[in-house]
Chain A
Amino acid sequence: GIQVEQSPPDLILQEGANSTLRCNFSDSVNNLQWFHQNPWGQLINLFYIPSGTKQNGRLSATTVATERYSLLYISSSQTTDSGVYFCAVDPKTSYDKVIFGPGTSLSVIP
């Protein structure tokens, strides 16, 4: 089946710093989503982005489907950005069965 990798696995940032999280996938996908799981366990959908670039405030995401990767940019990080960031893909070969990556754990310190 499809393999989904995320890097880095862990990241510590000073408040105000910028960061880039990466998601690589091994096969063609119908769509891709980015989620943030906060320290209380709540999963929040950040982006639905099968291709192209989207921006939402300090966050933006770019997916290059032909090269099988997606990037999540966090600018001017805040302590509330802490948590785990997951990408999730819907493989073309197994429609509807979205597969999650292992996540990037982000800690933003004051």
Chain B
Amino acid sequence: DAGITQSPRHKVTETGTPVTLRCHQTENHRYMYWYRQDPGHGLRLIHYSYGVKDTDKGEVSDGYSVSRSKTEDFLLTLESATSSQTSVYFCAISVGANYGYTFGSGTRLTVV
């Protein structure tokens, strides 16, 4: 997977609980992204990072927070999971803003 791993691969959690998804890269790429994929909506950007401690919101950031304390790790946190956050979450990395993306294998999250 070109040095990008997501964990966990699958998770079932209850409504109202906090959840953290992890994206880890070994490529030393500057840019990291979190997307969610839902039927009928395609892939939508949640948050992205352009460096350690540098993050910005995407188009569907409500209910999500992120942190990047090290180049290699980008964490996505659902502070209080809701059923509408049931989705497949993909992390992507890029050398820079004008370079192609490499995606991780995804995390399937179910909120019950």
A-side residues, CB < 8 A to B, are 1, 30-31, 33, 35, 41-45, 47-48, 50, 86, 88, 90, 95-103
* B27 contacts partner chain A, Cβ-Cβ < 8 Å: no
**Quick one: given A90-B97, A95-B97, are A43 and B42 in contact (CB under 8 Å)?**
no
Between A and B, how many residue pairs show CB distances below 8 Å? 55
B106 pairs with A101, CB closer than 8 A: no
B-side residues, CB < 8 A to A, are 31, 33, 35, 42-45, 48, 50, 56, 58-59, 88, 90, 92, 97-103, 105-106
A33 pairs with B48, CB closer than 8 A: no
Tell me the nearest residue of chain B to A44, going by C-beta.
B103
Q: Is the interface of A mostly helix, strand, loop or mixed?
A: strand
Q: Is the interface of B mostly helix, strand, loop or mixed?
A: strand
| A48 interface neighbour in B50, B92, B99, B106, Cβ under 8 Å | B99
Most chain A Cβ neighbours within 10 Å, of B45, B59, B99, B105: B45
Q: Nearest chain B CB to A43's CB is how many angstroms away?
A: 4
Most chain B Cβ neighbours within 10 Å, of A35, A45, A50, A95: A45
Q: Which residues of A contact B59 (CB under 8 A)?
A: 1, 97, 99
Tell me the nearest residue of chain A to B48, going by C-beta.
A96
CA distance A95 to B92 in the complex (A): 16
CA distance A95 to B50 in the complex (A): 12
| B42 interface neighbour in A41, A42, A86, A90, Cβ under 8 Å | A86
Q: Nearest chain B CB to A2's CB is how many angstroms away?
A: 11
